[in-house]
Amino acid sequence: MKLILLVLVLFSSFLLFYAVFKTFFSRSQTVEKRIERYLASPENVEVNEKDLDLFARYASARKNLTKKLVTKKKNNKLETTLARSGVPLKPDEYVLFQWIATGFFGILMVLLFTHWIWAVPGAIFGYLLPGFILKKKEKERIEKFNEGLSDMITTIIGSLRAGFSFPQALKSVAEEADSPIKEEIESVIKSMQYGSSIEEALNELKERMPSEDLDLMIQAILIQRQVGGNLATVLEKIVETIRDRTRIQRQIKTLTAQGRMSGMVIALLPFFLGIALYFIQPEFISSLFTHPVGLGMVAAGVTSSVIGFIFIRKITQIEV
């Protein structure tokens, strides 16, 4: 009976969290309404003053919340991180979602373990979880960009040798490439169409995508535009360098896979073992969460597991 109740609580909590997320951060309906508003004729557009006032209040509340909780420097950094990760959220929306997750997981832990002290680790987990997800998506997007970078440069080389200019070669990449290269190159093209020079547009791309290989390509392009020379030949050498580096990185990743997996097992095994013992025989492990000495042991164990996991990850990460 307790297990069924626990499953129902988890499922209902998930539905509540998902509903809040969709309510505040679903952008597709908003985009469709904006498109319809632009495409509609002026005679058919009816403006509801009440809706406009409500939207203005909501936007003002979000901005005030961001100003109180996030400094301007941190807000700019958060905006850059959101752009790199490809998450269609504004900084104020992300901050609001972060605090909703904090309250949600804090309440969830209290409901699960029926003690208010569990609200603290639940709230900390809920506050940090969006940041971990955002960093993970940023890392995955940059890695995907780097994986397709050699193909992108190859397309540029082919276009240049076919007689196209460099902006025309970028348009060919935007038409043929997949995400995220497609979106980033389209941003470069739009920036040039709005009046920015090629140098400025490429430097903006370098800021959005912190990649050593991309930086190498951009520096070669900028130097070639100053001193002249055959850009296709220079880019061909860069492609060879990038592919050699990628091959070495994959070899290192394969050789260190066992160490990384061992670190994950060492870090997660105590948690899964504790959860299993809690559900199989609660009275056997309950003293760890009720007695002060037990709570100290749990805190020491969690801290040691996290430190060990971080050390193993640092050892197995080799820069090329």
From 141, 170, 189, the end of a domain falls on: 141
**Is residue 54 predicted with pLDDT exceeding 70?**
no
* Domains in the chain, number: 3
The answer to whether residue 23 scores a pLDDT higher than 60 is no
* Domain membership flag for residue 107: yes
One domain for residues 21 and 87 = yes
Domain assignment of residue 15, given as a range = 1-25+61-141
* Domain match, 88 and 124 both: yes
pLDDT digits (tens, 9 = 90+) for 232-273: 999 999 999 888 988 888 888 888 888 888 888 888 888 888
Residue 315 contacts residue 259 (beta carbons within 8 Å) = yes
Region 28-55: mean pLDDT is 49
Tokens of 277: 């013992």
Percent of the chain exceeding pLDDT 90 equals 17
Are residues 99 and 117 located together in one domain of the fold? yes
Rounded CA separation 121/126 (Å): 8
The domain spanning residue 188 has which CATH number?
1.20.81
Q: Which two tokens stand for residue 191?
A: 């920036």
119-171 pLDDT, tens digit per residue, is: 888 889 989 999 999 999 999 999 899 889 999 999 999 999 999 999 999 99
Q: What is the pTM of this model?
A: 0.66
In a domain, residue 180? The reply is: yes
The alpha helices in 71-165, defined as continuous H runs, are 72-85, 91-113, 119-161
